[in-house]
Amino acid sequence: MISREPTLERLATAQALMLEPFGLSEATLQQALGLISQHRIDDADLYFQTTRHEGWSLEEGIVKSGSFSIDQGVGVRAVAGEKTAFAYSDDLSEASLLDAARTVRTIAAAGQNRRIKVDKTPKVAGSRLLYAPADPIATLDSTAKVALLERVEKMARAKDPRIVQVMAGLAAEHDVVLVARADGTRAADVRPLVRLSVTVIAEQTVAGAVRREMGSGGGGGRFGLEHFTDEVIRSYVDQAVHGALTNLDSRPAPAGELTVVLGPGWPGVLLHEAVGHGLEGDFNRKGSSVFAGRIGQRVASKGVTVLDDGTLADRRGSLNVDDEGYASQKNVLIEDGILKGYIQDRMNARLMGVKPTGNGRRESYAHVPMPRMTNTYMLGGDKSQEEILASVKRGLYATNFGGGQVDITNGKFVFSASEAYWVENGRILYPVKGATLVGNGPESLKRISMIGNDMALDTGVGVCGKEGQSVPVGVGQPTLRIERLTVGGTA
């Protein structure tokens, strides 16, 4: 059997789903782009998308709900200078597509910008093969999906009699996109995405007082539901149960300026929020980020290297091609403490005189693209976790985080630790609850004094929000020691 090159195969899949059934053709795409380019613009594209999503949830030992949805449509965009005109439709007819094209072409005023010529010779965009173009919804039947959630419940309750409630969710998505650009570029992607989440509540009574605590675990990525073997499920359950039982024994967190050790993996969400957003091109082009105009300057301690990498196989944040038809890349943002570059989409890259970095992302066809992170992580160093903890005289060791927020204009962040421990004279003494980390992203980078050799990525649970749009992302880091970080506690 002779198979087509993967990029061509994805294009054929997208055309079969979103063009051919609606009477659309290459000629129709060129006609729509031609209408837009009748006025003076810098860029134009069409973004077709069809998404099938299925979700199941379990609570109190029963699978209580299941859902299935299909969404499809096209987004039409014209860019002139810094201005963007955008229209979208969930009707994939020729009439709706051309009507949207006529609507967005009004963006450009006469005499401004340049008139782009629609290339009538389509060319296939460069792309990658990072995950199989499978439909994850079809990888297990309904009976097997229900049984999977029931196994989660059984495993969690068997771990400890103090587990009194188990909640679990299973989600699968099959996303197909097609990008047609005015320069003739044609790109497509077939994106599977799955996720299994586990939340448990533990309860114990001490001196007549009932105490309840919660723990969570889970993961996923761009593969099928068969990934969730008993071994994988058990690791998620162990994480959730450990978090809940640990917090049953927790004491009020201390407050003050302390040495803080961050664990590997998911704690990289702090790096994502406090630093990653500040390195996105739109904020830096406008001068609103604390990192604006600082390329080539030291912004972190020596040894700190931060990457945004959309090319990791099967990872939640990875993309074969971004939502503007540009192949994903491995981008070094900070190298040995020196700022090297920003995350870019096409518009901000053009306005800043640099190349796109494969980070043009959008939530759906109904949203405009913008520079967004993929998998953002810090490389490891040369210290063991044991060595780092042993160096702490008095401080906090945070291994898991809940919510947080950051102001990219000044870099200030606030994060709540969902699992943390008090460390004294190099020994972990007891778990603490209610610890909040308060600091400044750029300043915290400069206060990193030890970097572990245990870099790990998260298990595949990250969702990033920006300007009302959510996209799947990954985070990661090694164990880190940070000096003089403010801890807001309850003690």
Tens digits of residue pLDDT in 163-213: 999 999 999 999 999 999 999 999 999 999 999 999 999 999 988 899 999
How many CA atoms within 13 Å lie on the side-chain side of 458?
A: 31
Tens digits of residue pLDDT in 40-59: 889 999 999 999 999 999 99
Q: What is the mean pLDDT of residues 217-229?
A: 98
Tens digits of residue pLDDT in 362-391: 999 999 999 999 999 999 999 999 999 999
Give the pLDDT confidence score for residue 1 in this predicted structure: 40
Give the pLDDT confidence score for residue 110 in this predicted structure: 46
Residue 467, pLDDT above cutoff 80: yes
| Residue ranges with strand state E in 231-390 | 251-252, 256-262, 306-309, 330-335, 338-339, 360-361, 370-371, 375-378
Residue 108, pLDDT above cutoff 60: no
Residue 427, pLDDT above cutoff 70: yes
CB 216 within 8 A of CB 156: no
Mean of per-residue pLDDT scores for the chain: 94
Long-range pairs for 209-212: beta carbons < 8 A, 24 or more residues apart: 211/248, 212/164
Burial class (CB in 10 A: 0-12, 13-18, 19+), 31: middle
pLDDT band at residue 111 under the 50/70/90 scheme: very low
Percent of the chain predicted with pLDDT > 90: 87
| Assigned token pair, 312 | 């990791």
Question: In which element (H, E) is residue 100 found?
Answer: helix 94-104
Percent of the chain predicted with pLDDT > 70: 96
Tens digits of residue pLDDT in 262-277: 999 999 999 998 899 9
Output b/e per residue, 370-399; b: 16+ Cβ within 10 A.
bbbbbbbbbbbbebebeebbebbeebbbbb
Q: What is the mean pLDDT of residues 101-127?
A: 73
Pairing type for strands 436-440 and 448-451 reads unpaired
Phi, psi of 268 (to 5 degrees): -60, -10
Of 2-11, 44-53, 144-153, 264-273, minimum mean pLDDT range: 2-11
CB 50 within 8 A of CB 176: yes
Contacts of 207 (CB under 8 A, 6+ apart): none
Give the pLDDT confidence score for residue 114 in this predicted structure: 60
Tens digits of residue pLDDT in 89-105: 999 999 999 999 999 98
Integer angstrom CA distances of residue 370 from 275, 277, 286, 346: 17, 12, 14, 9
d(CA 360, CA 47): 12
pLDDT band at residue 118 under the 50/70/90 scheme: low
Could you tell me the pTM of the whole model? Answer: 0.94
Give the pLDDT confidence score for residue 463 in this predicted structure: 95
Residue 109, pLDDT above cutoff 60: no
